Amino acid sequence: MAADLFGDIVDGPRVGWREHLPGLALVIAATLAAGFLSDRYGAPLTLMALLIGLALNFLSADKRLHPGLGLASRDLLRWGIVLVGARVTLGQIADLGLPALLAIVVVVAGTITLAVIIAKRFGYDQWFGMLVGGAVAICGASAALAVATTLSTRRISQAQLTLVLIGISAMSAAAMVIYPVLAHAAGFSDGRAGFLLGGAIHDVAQALGAGYSYSAEAGRIATIVKLTRVALLAPVLAVIALFLPRSERAAGSQGVPWFVLGFFVVAGVNSTGIIPSIVVHGAETLAGAMLACAVAATAIRSPLPQLLKMGSKPLILIGIVTLTMFALAAAGAILAIR
């Protein structure tokens, strides 16, 4: 499954620190190998981490690794996102401009609306369309779980949720590799590429990985755009709750994730210039390592064998919605970013 931002993908009781060691050791070894390949061949670190993680996917069958893999794909990702704020200042966020921020809102709203319409054409109800649209438009698997919780099991079955989680993970992993190539082919500037990658890739770790694989500037903008999408989770859930009976609407409330707030706090402190450059550089390096670990853990945990057992219809639907968001994000990049 995709990186677990909200801690609601990893099942089972809490375990002690010793139980985390096997999975963390595997993730660290995979990330170190990715770092060697990145330095040796000049390839993006996160891309190498993704490919090595996928090669080690068969190890996910070992339950002893699950606690550490879950920790890496959840907590390391969260803190990595917070430290990415050291690469950004509030002035840079403001430099995106109001048109870009409005474009993000339009891309998210348009994707969810079109997902509902497309889902009905595929024979599904509006609730499944909202589930797919929310997962694609916001932040992948974590958003899918949040939307499913809001809609409840009376509207979204566990089987439907599982299919969306698997499909979203597959599409997001493919997008991380393919979208930067398409952005290069289209001749996008760093700004436009960053908007496209941050605005079109589902999972946070993979959106940031794709951005920084394009360039440092594209990665910075992709981070801002992607986290703006994540921050829209709360209002999106509030809008979805409006379609529910009045007695069920309270269950749909959810605040802005703490790691998004942490990102902006670190960016705000960094904007003052009081942080020494050596500390900023260290935070950037640590953030890159944490994100690479999260990507590797995400790839190792991905339930690839289950994809072969899926029916093709839900996957095709998710693919169409994914391409729809890609088109909207590309249009937004062209219109809103100079």
Which residues does 187 contact at the CB level (< 8 Å), separation at least 6? none
Top mean pLDDT of 113-117, 259-263, 285-289, 295-299 is at 113-117
**How far, in Å, CA of 198 to CA of 302, rounded?**
21
Helix 158-185, helix 141-151: angle, nearest 10: 140
The answer to whether residue 194 scores a pLDDT higher than 60 is yes
Residue 158 lies in a domain: yes
The answer to whether residue 286 scores a pLDDT higher than 60 is yes
Q: Which residue has the higher pLDDT, 308 or 143?
A: 143
Residue 320 lies in a domain: yes
Query: What does the mean pLDDT of the chain come to?
Result: 81
Residue 92 lies in a domain: yes
Q: What integer pLDDT is reported at residue 248 of this predicted model?
A: 56
The answer to whether residue 54 scores a pLDDT higher than 70 is yes
Q: What integer pLDDT is reported at residue 251 of this predicted model?
A: 46
Domain span including residue 195: 17-336
As given in the structure block, the two tokens for residue 206 are: 């993979």
**How far, in Å, CA of 317 to CA of 327, rounded?**
15
pLDDT digits (tens, 9 = 90+) for 238-248: 788 778 776 55
Lowest mean pLDDT among 190-199, 240-249, 316-325: 240-249
Q: Which residue has the higher pLDDT, 246 or 255?
A: 246
Q: What integer pLDDT is reported at residue 151 of this predicted model?
A: 81
The answer to whether residue 55 scores a pLDDT higher than 90 is no
Lowest mean pLDDT among 10-19, 129-138, 209-218: 10-19
Torsion of the alpha carbons at 106, 107, 111 and 114, rounded to the nearest 10: 50
- What's the structural domain count of the chain? 1
111 within 8 A of 132, measured Cβ to Cβ: no
57 within 8 A of 105, measured Cβ to Cβ: no
Residue 9 lies in a domain: no
Q: Which residue has the higher pLDDT, 11 or 138?
A: 138
Confidence of residue 2 (pLDDT cuts 50, 70, 90): very low
Q: What integer pLDDT is reported at residue 307 of this predicted model?
A: 52
The rounded percent of the chain whose pLDDT value lies above 90 is: 25
Q: What angle do CA 336, 324, 188 make, to 5 degrees?
A: 40
pLDDT digits (tens, 9 = 90+) for 25-42: 999 999 999 999 888 887
Alpha-carbon distances, residue 207 vs 36, 157, 224, 275 (angstroms): 22, 28, 11, 27
The rounded percent of the chain whose pLDDT value lies above 70 is: 85
The answer to whether residue 196 scores a pLDDT higher than 90 is yes
Average pLDDT score over residue span 59-74:
85
Residue 11 lies in a domain: no
What does pTM read for this prediction?
0.67
The answer to whether residue 197 scores a pLDDT higher than 80 is yes
Task: Determine the residue type at 310.
Answer: M
As given in the structure block, the two tokens for residue 325 are: 């968001």
The answer to whether residue 107 scores a pLDDT higher than 70 is yes
**How far, in Å, CA of 85 to CA of 272, rounded?**
13
Q: What integer pLDDT is reported at residue 238 of this predicted model?
A: 77
Residue 255 lies in a domain: yes
Residue 12 lies in a domain: no
Average pLDDT score over residue span 150-159:
75
Average pLDDT score over residue span 179-198:
93
Residue 8 lies in a domain: no
Q: What integer pLDDT is reported at residue 247 of this predicted model?
A: 59
pLDDT digits (tens, 9 = 90+) for 75-105: 887 788 788 777 767 776 777 788 988 999 9
The answer to whether residue 254 scores a pLDDT higher than 70 is no
Q: What integer pLDDT is reported at residue 311 of this predicted model?
A: 64
The answer to whether residue 330 scores a pLDDT higher than 60 is yes
Using the structure block, give the residue that is written with the tokens 């499913």. Answer: 148
Q: What integer pLDDT is reported at residue 1 of this predicted model?
A: 43
